[in-house]
A and B are shown apart, each in its own frame.
Chain A
């Protein structure tokens, strides 16, 4: 797959990493564009989270490269890497994390790179408005249901208008109804923002929503035919 013009693209080549005293993990080469989200599957412990952290720059690979829109993340120094992540990558976790002392609205604005942005994101305005109507914006995150929390954390991950969205088991703690709502929100917003979306999961409920799959257990890259 070649990236078209104005589509963001992530390219991974020859990536490998080893935790101290453990076996080396080798990751397949791949290229993901913003028009085609990628699902990463695999048994727990096969390195899904490690892979995401290597893509986000939270971990430094022992070799290989991660290139987002022409920028090689693996060669950045730590400070530049933090800045690059803050400006270009949105992360969503299995358990939504928040600054507990801050309200939902303040949590949406914790990114240090928001003040540099020209205008509020039109793509997110409706979502924020929706939270506001449900009276959630001024609550503390701990007061929200887990479905609400995950929706808020998705919107927060998008606040910096990322080129790459990395979601680690975003639905595993949710019931069916919330799962569907969250995955729909994630895919729709990624498309609106023209961002590359990569979801790590072993949640079967997501598989029917996403065409591209990478199974890290056997290193196979599949494109499933949607019904």
Chain B
């Protein structure tokens, strides 16, 4: 009966109830969204890190290099000479070095020239078809395959740059050779091919003749790199297009190299060597990402505090509403005592009202957060190729406890007042 009265009471003053519920719902949904987004982003970034010790690329913003070479969400800092990179890559302390060449995209998905080792690093498995082994063969990440609808054997052309609607490399068609199984890593959103394919697409525009390996090796010339503002492995200078299949690899540009070292010592020394003695920069991606997270963390903490503030206000509003109604309700509380309810039952009655409100607010909030997540996913999947999971996170349990706690705390004082009420005096007031 007490629970029924509590429930009916909440429905009896709908405006009060709506205000309390709205405040609770908003605070719960904001906190929930922040927790989910932060957790998902951090997990995704950590997952794609794959223990890579060092990212080497053109000088520029270290964070930009990491975001572009590891996560493919930013433009590259520029290009580096393969010959120069090779000197580092072939060093005996390097355990593994995976070169990357990119700059083109297909339907907004990046085309990445790399080696088989990259696919192994990300545990790629084929859903259909074969690995690429010849030039101009490509395999599609799972999301790319779904979004583009391309099948094995289909051909497509890349777009210059990362955005759709750029210049099309129409005379160089890629053939889909394989499609990858989704493994929720960055490769889901990539078109993968070998590095010579990337060179080939751009060599038609390249002033190839001016480059000669030995010449490059001696030079480390800065002026070439500084001019490379565009996200493109090759220079834009118009050149002869009907060249032979003779590409002198060492004279070519790549975009970045992902490296692992044999010893921790090398990891400490190598970045300095590269940064000081070459035209390239080396970045420890783990450190950059931690720095990024600590920056995001400031924003997330602020939002959390705002949401906490809203929750505090909703707690106060529950408190004020219940406390104000005590004057109106004292006769019905006295009546309950007169018909035999013990004082502690009145305490339960009011606590129940707070608990029902906070539980409803919590579930409405979780529901609203999922609606928000759905909306964010619609936008984020188009802009960042990122999909957040809307499954129930275990960390949402403490939000539940927090909400119930707020409900109970807000109700406690009116409830104690109800419990200690002098029934005889109230009934004599007539």
Contact = CB atoms under 8 A, between A and B. Distances in A.
Contacts of A98: 332, 335
Given A97-B334, A101-B12, A110 B428 contact: no
A181 B99 CA distance: 99
Interface string B392-407: 0000000000000000
Contacts of B384: none
Nearest to A95: B430
B424 interface: yes
A112 interface: yes
A53 B335 contact: no
B430 A82 contact: no
A204 interface: no
A78 B428 CA distance: 20
A86 interface: yes
A79 interface: yes
A49 B331 CA distance: 16
A93 B339 contact: no
A156 to B, nearest CB: 8
Most buried by A among B12, B332, B339: B339
Contacts of B335: 97-99, 110
Contacts of A178: none
Nearest to B8: A101
B60 interface: no
A86 B345 CA distance: 13
A82 B342 contact: yes
Nearest to B13: A101
A87 interface: yes
Given A49-B428, A53-B427, A86 B339 contact: yes
A100 B340 contact: no
A82 B8 contact: no
A71 interface: no
A100 B424 contact: no
Contacts of B430: 93-95, 168-169
B332 A93 contact: no
A102 B7 CA distance: 10
B332 A58 contact: no
B11 A101 contact: yes
Interface in A4-47: none
A149 interface: no
A102 B341 CA distance: 17
A111 interface: yes
B277 to A, nearest CB: 80
Nearest to A113: B340
B342 A79 contact: yes
The DSSP consensus for interface residues of chain B is helix
A194 interface: no
Interface in B1-23: 1, 4-5, 8-9, 11-12
B339 A160 contact: yes
A6 to B, nearest CB: 24
Given A100-B12, A101-B9, A101-B12, A110 B427 contact: no
Given A53-B428, A93-B427, A94-B430, A102 B5 contact: yes
The DSSP consensus for interface residues of chain A is loop
Contacts of B339: 85-86, 91, 110-112, 156, 160
A139 interface: no
A50 interface: yes
Interface residues of B, number: 25
Most buried by B among A49, A58, A85, A156: A58
A59 interface: yes
Contacts of A205: none
B423 interface: yes
B338 interface: yes
Interface in A103-149: 106, 109-113
A82 B424 CA distance: 13
Given A49-B427, A58-B424, A93-B430, A101 B342 contact: no
A98 B12 CA distance: 13
A58 B423 contact: yes
Given A99-B5, A101-B5, A110-B1, A82 B427 contact: no
Given A58-B338, A82-B340, A94-B430, A112 B424 contact: no
Contacts of B345: 112
A133 to B, nearest CB: 25
Contacts of A86: 339-341
A83 interface: yes
A201 interface: no
A74 interface: no
A65 interface: no
B124 interface: no
Nearest to A90: B339
Contacts of B340: 82-83, 85-87, 111-113, 160
A43 to B, nearest CB: 15
A99 B338 CA distance: 13
A100 B332 contact: yes
6 contacts: A79-B342, A91-B338, A110-B1, A110-B335, A112-B1, A112-B341
Interface of A: 49-50, 53, 56, 58-59, 78-79, 82-83, 85-87, 91, 93-95, 97-102, 106, 109-113, 156, 160, 168-169
Given A82-B342, A102-B5, A109-B1, 15 more contacts: A49-B427, A53-B428, A56-B338, A58-B423, A58-B427, A59-B424, A82-B337, A83-B342, A86-B339, A97-B331, A99-B9, A101-B9, A106-B4, A112-B340, A112-B341
